[in-house]
Structure 1
Amino acid sequence: MTSDSSNTSPTLSVGDQDAELEQRLSDELDSFNIAATGVGDRGSFSIKVTDEAGELVGGLAAWTWGGLCGIDMVWVRADSRQDGWGSRILLAAEAEARRRGCDRIAVSSFTFQAPGFYQRHGYVETGRTRGIPGGNEDVHMFKSLAV
């Protein structure tokens, strides 16, 4: 008996995080987005702060595409949160976004995290997603980087 691939049913599987799958999905979505928009300048960057012992003080992970920078994650170690590292990291991210040609930046922060921090840095709330555990919300914010 011969196998006819047109009669083969796809298989759905659920499992733990799959780095190879995530890379493939990212590549496929990038291709789709480039075809749909003609914009193909997607990139990513990170900012890292370490102390004298080489231990992580804080950092940021972000992406850029089509003049927009999206901040995925920002974290500062509890004992360093009053030392201005959050502001220095955020300002460095904004400078890097501008260097990469971005004129706007977006971020979201749960209400129990730091939406006020971003708002003090000129970010404007654009919406909220309800249903975060503990009765919290995800606050979506935006800032123009145009000079």
Structure 2
Amino acid sequence: MTTDQGSGFTLATGDRDAELNRRLTEELTTFNSAATGAADRGTLSVKVTDEKGELVGGLAAWTWGGLCGIDLLWVREDCRKDGWGSQILRAAEEEARRRGCDRIVVSSFTFQAPGFYQRHGYVETGRTLGIPGGNEDVHMFKSLTE
């Protein structure tokens, strides 16, 4: 939806706009770097495939200022008891260390895997209420220097 806001400005809403997302990331990275002096923003991924080349699981994260933030971690249902989640997480933590990160953050809905992260040394730092089904988003932190 697009509306004329007067004075030549237009406000538009809709599905995610890839170009807008790229520009916002660029602008916020510039702002954040100026505010903090940390300019080492990057992305990180871990991917596991099976013998057929099918995706078993993976992780997407970002790094910035010595901090790693996990955005997504997923393991295919038939492989979840095989330890792939732990291997993927450990690989991401090691890559984060290699990139100079000394801490890592993640959030997980209560119906997903907060216990998984806690078993790997993550501690809860807060919760966001109001997730559908009466659930919460659990925010966690781990030091990578231990």
**TM-score, with structure 1 as normaliser:** 0.94
Q: Which runs of 4+ in 1 moved over 4 A?
A: none
2:37 maps to which residue? Answer: 38
**Aligned 1:1-147 pairs, distance under 5 A:** 8-147=7-146
Q: Which has the larger radius of gyration?
A: 1
Tell me how far apart the structure 1 counterparts of residues 93 and 33 of structure 2 sit (CA, whole Å).
Answer: 24
1:62 to partner: Cα distance: 0.3
Identity of aligned residues (%): 77
Instruction: Note the alpha carbon deviations across 1:111-147, whole angstroms, 9 max, x for none.
Output: 0000000000000000011100000000000000013
In the alignment, structure 2 segments of 5+ residues that lack a partner are 1-5
1:76 to partner: Cα distance: 0.1
Tell me how far apart the structure 2 counterparts of residues 26 and 82 of structure 1 sit (CA, whole Å).
Answer: 36
SS at match of 2:59: strand
Q: How many residues align?
A: 141
Instruction: Note the alpha carbon deviations across 1:26-82, whole angstroms, 9 max, x for none.
Output: 000001011111110000011100001110000000000000000000000000000
SS at match of 1:36: helix
In the alignment, structure 1 segments of 5+ residues that lack a partner are 1-6
1:9 to partner: Cα distance: 2.8
**Structure ranking higher in strand proportion:** 2
SS at match of 2:81: coil
Tell me how far apart the structure 2 counterparts of residues 66 and 84 of structure 1 sit (CA, whole Å).
Answer: 30
